[in-house]
Amino acid sequence: MHLAGGTVAERVATLRERVDEVTVASGRERGSVSILAVTKAQPRDAVLAALAAGLTDVGENYLQEARAKYDGLPPCTKHFVGHVQTNKAKAIVNLFDVVQSVDRLDAGLALAKAAGDAGRRLRVLVQVNVSPTERFGTAPGDAPALAARLRDEGLAVDGVMAIGPLDGDVDAAFAKAHAAFERVGGTTLSMGMSGDWERAVRAGSTMVRLGTAIFGPRPARERSLA
Ligand SMILES: *Cc1c(COP(=O)(O)O)cnc(C)c1O
């Protein structure tokens, strides 16, 4: 894919280098922060371009959209980052490797049942709410108890996901998510998007979720969904 500002491969290479610079400047090991390519509202070609550029993790918000794009993809790890509707749990489990957006018990229970039925151990993150502008997510203080309960149900809870606030004290919000991650445990703190990933990495993120920075602006039609 060719876009203003370079190809997807060029953008990914530049971002990889910048993410590593901020990681090292934050006193952590080069390569310890991964990049998730968020392809919502982008065509299947965008997913293929991200994988061809060397990324291994892709993410989607909408099940319906992902279905068409994910058919016959090269090997990669697929992350669901959208709101989990309990009646879609089975379809989500069938399509995705990781569910980053478990924000309440009933969503987790539905996923645990679907994963059990499929004979799979599903990797999930607990989504915490650290932003007044964000609708979903459990209170950071409730995350450890939710994680414990979900582990009892057989889910592989591997950390925390957070969406930063659009304005206000972004660093304080990320610090709250980091504190919740330390209490939940696991390997992944998924935090930081195109506009705030540097602050997220400084606050301890291990995975930044990038859409616009890789693919350019989302097509207008779908932007209203996002
Ligand atoms: C859209 C989206 C992203 C990527 O956002 P950009 O600002 O385009 O990088 C990351 N995470 C979630 C949960 C999203 O919905």
Q: Is 13 exposed, middle or buried (0-12, 13-18, 19+ CB in 10 A)?
A: middle
Q: Does residue 168 or residue 128 have the better pLDDT? A: 128
User: Quick one: average pLDDT of 24-47?
Assistant: 97
From the alpha carbon of 215, which atom of ligand 1 is closest?
8
Q: What residues flank ligand 1, with Cβ below 6 Å?
A: 38, 40, 61, 81, 163, 193-195, 209-213, 226
pLDDT recorded at residue 226: 44
From the alpha carbon of 61, which atom of ligand 1 is closest?
15
* Distance of CA 106 from the midpoint of ligand 1 (Å): 24
* Distance of CA 155 from the midpoint of ligand 1 (Å): 24
The mean of the pLDDT values for the chain is: 95
Rounded to the nearest 10°, the torsion over CA 69, 57, 180, 28 is -160
Q: Is the pLDDT of residue 138 over 60?
A: yes
How many CB atoms within 10 Å of residue 111? 27
- Per DSSP, the residues of 106-173 read HHHHHHHHHHHHTT---EEEEEE---TT----B-GGGHHHHHHHHHHTT-EEEEEEE---SSS-HHHH
Q: At what angle do helices 44-52 and 8-25 cross, to 10 degrees?
A: 60
* Distance of CA 112 from the midpoint of ligand 1 (Å): 25
Q: pLDDT digit string (tens) for 51-80?
A: 999 999 999 999 999 998 999 999 999 999
pLDDT recorded at residue 223: 47
User: Quick one: average pLDDT of 84-102?
Assistant: 98
Residues 40/222, Cβ–Cβ less than 8 Å: yes
pTM: 0.95
